[in-house]
Structure 1
């Protein structure tokens, strides 16, 4: 084994002993944000490409993964919408509708402050580099990142509110 091997054999053996192939492919998929060839996922999950593809296809059927099978080789990435749904469901379980509505109100107030500060309604249209000096650019980048987080959190809490108000469903039953 090369001393620079990113996954030394003892760690790999411990992973294999405690996790089946499906679990390893799932774990690797969680860190896959860009479409990645299934053979690369297999290599990281320490399994055959055929096994990885089989499990990735199953994860795609479950909407946990996104698949791009038009090109060759097939590429896979995690489905962020699935994980957002999971997070919104957790919020719905842990908070009352009143708590959720109050949190959304707090977040909307913060969002409005950023919209006024940057004279824009969407943080993706604001450049961090429209500032003079390194510190000002850095501060602006942090503010834009915070604003993006607030927008995401509003979306999650709104989804949680809908789930809570509709007895666990997104739309009324």
Structure 2
């Protein structure tokens, strides 16, 4: 494809001076002067997401250990897999908070009030599945709102949240499928 000489060329150059400024303030770690996100706000959102993921780990673990019956082996395995994936999400979020020079909040005393989802201590498998589906939907909406709020100001955090939300959507589909089997 040939270019039209009468069309102006797109400016594809980058700001070398700004890039070199990034070498300063080494104590800021991954946060360079070009960072456009509101760090404090994003860290606060991520700590809410961290609390949600930690609570989801505990809920799925409780469901895994308390569901009984040979007929529930598949859902029991799904509970365990989801608990492990939620723990991975919590780790990713905590790591990102640290990259943004924040402190991940693992305080168990305030976990439930900071979480977007709720804990569940249902006794029967259908109630467990329903509670997990509700929590997955809450997480999906929470991540959607965070992604929208962050916009293009923090592409790394946005990408992480999009990836986590995709897994939460898979979890919601799994729980919906188990709910429809009853």
TM over 0.5: no
Q: Name the one with the larger strand percent.
A: 1
**TM-score, normalised by the number of residues in structure 1:** 0.32
**TM-score, normalised by the number of residues in structure 2:** 0.30
